[in-house]
Structure 1
Amino acid sequence: MPVSAVARRLGVAPATLRTWDRRYGLGPSRHTGGKHRRYGAADINRLELMQRALLRGASTAEAARFALAQAPGTVPDAEVAEPFGLPEPAEAPDRSLARQLRSAALAMDGAAVQRLLADSIADAGVLASWENVIDPVLTAFGAGWDGTHARPEAEYLLSECVLGALIRATPVPREPRNQRPVLLSCVPGERGALPLYALAACLAERDVGTQLLGAAPPADVLAVAVRRSAPSAVVLLARREPVAEPRLFSRLARGRQRSRLFALGEGWSRAALPGKIEMLSDLRQAVGRVEYVLLGR
């Protein structure tokens, strides 16, 4: 099966499958006569195992390692495999919390979801909570279980609760360490801005001031916003290939005030980006690079 067909079957974006292939080696193993590669039954089984592990609370990297460790075609029983070879919750409280968060969302218990998110952020900080709890559960809901969508009403509830938790975890620095703000925005047409809210919260924890445009503005509006706010850096999020337009950076680079430009998200292709645009692969790298570029630490 081609990547587009596998993406439809699993309920994920083609860009997500390409990211899993590039980062973790969970890609197609069959070759056709042309340049295109095709997913076989064993490849798809491994992806389904990865989805199950994500829903159990594993991080993306852990889920990928688990899927790759299984024999081709193996689909372990959900009860027998609990918790999919991962350490027990007592050894890994973040995994236990991820499972609790998923269960609360599926039960449509908004109060419990909010409490779990608040506890995770208070205990571990935004970055660790995003990597080990929030993002794995969001990814699992978006991916679905065995190729089906995992209750969209629960995904909507979880997304709204995550948004609220991240906003509450983003204080406005009284004395930001950067003189000019970091402008964070989705590209036109992008709908999922939660990684930007997580980035704003992480930078706020480090007293770095940001200016966030959560609703993706049209290109003209974004260009005006950059010109008027004169940010020290601009981070553009694109999670889907169809909306990632590299030429947008050229529009933002015009004017007297120069800003460092970053591309965040799996929608971007490094090869297609202009030479001076820096690619950010994930939230941890984004936090580290923005802080280092602006402040040298």
Structure 2
Amino acid sequence: MGSGSSEGEPTLPVASVARRLGVAPSTLRTWDRRYGLGPSLHTDGRHRRYGSSDVGRLELMQRALLRGASTAEAARYALEQMPRVEAAPVVPEPAAVARPAPPSDDGEVPSRLARRLSTAALAMDVGAVQRMLADAVHELGVLAAWSGVIDPVLSALGARWRGVHAGAEVEYLLAECVYAALVRATPVLNEPRNQRPVLLACVPEERDTMPMYALSAALAGRRVGTHLFGVPLPAEVLAVTVRRSAPAAVVLWARRRAVADPRLFARVSRGRQRSRLFACGPGWDAAALPVKVELLPDLPAATDRVEHVLVGGPR
């Protein structure tokens, strides 16, 4: 069988591919043995290495699984789409499908919008705050507006009033306006590209829920449908929700290390339901996550990766 991998091409070991796909290494070995979806290359020490075409086939197989195909059907589909031949096409890595950030004059536009937003919030001018948020989303897009304008201003105001009551009303006012702006920026999808939704939720006791609204808006902008739970659910309720909604992927957000419990993933993944599991946010410790859970460090990375895993990139 041909490899589809060129000499000198970067390759990955079984463990790295398993973590990338959110499956156990033993699952990859089974798919290789039963369906011929294994690595094409061996090192001098006979360790198995996956080339980009090998990983591409597995990602195609996983998308079929997430749409409800049986394992055999998904494997057959992947091999039909990317036959194992010498000239097999290479599927782009997730970074290749990332959207370039809108031009911002080296940060001048986000900085200007952030100053105007902060000024309006401190003046308790609700109308101006709403206009500033709308301008930021319109000029920069949801993700760039979040990372370059909204989140920095929220963080700055939160730090300014932390531990005091006087002035905290500014932070509350801005938060309410941001929630509304992100909901308005989330299109309603009549025909999402994914057949099963992405479940977005915060871990129990996480107070910072707003990033999930931004992620939902960004994914909807790429026609990826989500089920968003803005209020943190108790662990048992979250587990039932995952079982009943049968999502293609689950993204759990945590900003604070104190509330990011990796054991939560075991609770939501019980049963036979196939769902990709993602941990998103600075609260998670990569070393403590289960092998089937992929870490997404920030919202742009989460948007690109979830889109790539479910539907294969932009269209």
For the superposition of Structure 1 and Structure 2, which TM-score range results when normalised by the shorter chain?
A: 0.5 to 0.7
Residue 228 of structure 2: aligned partner: 212
Contact 1:180 1:231 in 2 (8 A): yes
Q: Deviations over 1:126-179 (max 9, x none)?
A: 011111111111121223389989931111111110000000111121110000
**Greater RCO (Cα-Cα under 8 Å, separation 6 or more):** 2
Contact 1:185 1:196 in 2 (8 A): yes
2:186 matches 1:159: no
- Normalising by structure 1, what TM-score? 0.67
2:303 to 278, 287, 296: 287
Q: Structure 1 pair 282/160, CA: closer, same or farther in 2 (3 Å)? A: same
Contact 1:142 1:149 in 2 (8 A): no
Residue 180 of structure 1: aligned partner: 196
2:266 to 229, 246, 250: 250
2:296 matches 1:273: no
Question: Which whole-Å CA distance do the structure 1 matches of 2:274 and 2:158 have between them?
Answer: 37
Residue 68 of structure 1: aligned partner: none
Residue 254 of structure 2: aligned partner: 238
What is the correspondence of 1:118-197 to structure 2 with a 5 Å cutoff?
A: 118-144=134-160, 151-197=167-213
Q: Structure 1 pair 152/265, CA: closer, same or farther in 2 (3 Å)? A: same
The CA deviation at 1:276 is 1.2
Q: Deviations over 1:58-102 (max 9, x none)?
A: xxxxxxxxxxxxxxxxxxxxxxxxxxxxxxx99812211100100
Q: Secondary structure at the match of 1:111?
A: helix
Question: Which whole-Å CA distance do the structure 2 matches of 1:216 and 1:91 have between them?
Answer: 33
2:241 matches 1:225: yes
- Normalising by structure 2, what TM-score? 0.63
Question: Which whole-Å CA distance do the structure 2 matches of 1:185 and 1:101 have between them?
Answer: 27
Q: Structure 1 pair 147/189, CA: closer, same or farther in 2 (3 Å)? A: closer
Question: Which whole-Å CA distance do the structure 2 matches of 1:219 and 1:145 have between them?
Answer: 31
Q: Deviations over 1:105-124 (max 9, x none)?
A: 11111110001101111222
In structure 2, the gaps of 5 or more residues are: 1-104
Larger Rg: 2
Question: Which whole-Å CA distance do the structure 1 matches of 2:176 and 2:220 have between them?
Answer: 20
Residue 129 of structure 2: aligned partner: 113
User: Residue type of the partner of 1:125?
Assistant: G
Contact 1:235 1:261 in 2 (8 A): yes
User: Residue type of the partner of 2:202?
Assistant: C
2:118 matches 1:102: yes
RMSD after superposition: 2.1
Q: Secondary structure at the match of 2:117?
A: helix
Q: Secondary structure at the match of 2:141?
A: helix
User: Residue type of the partner of 2:152?
Assistant: P
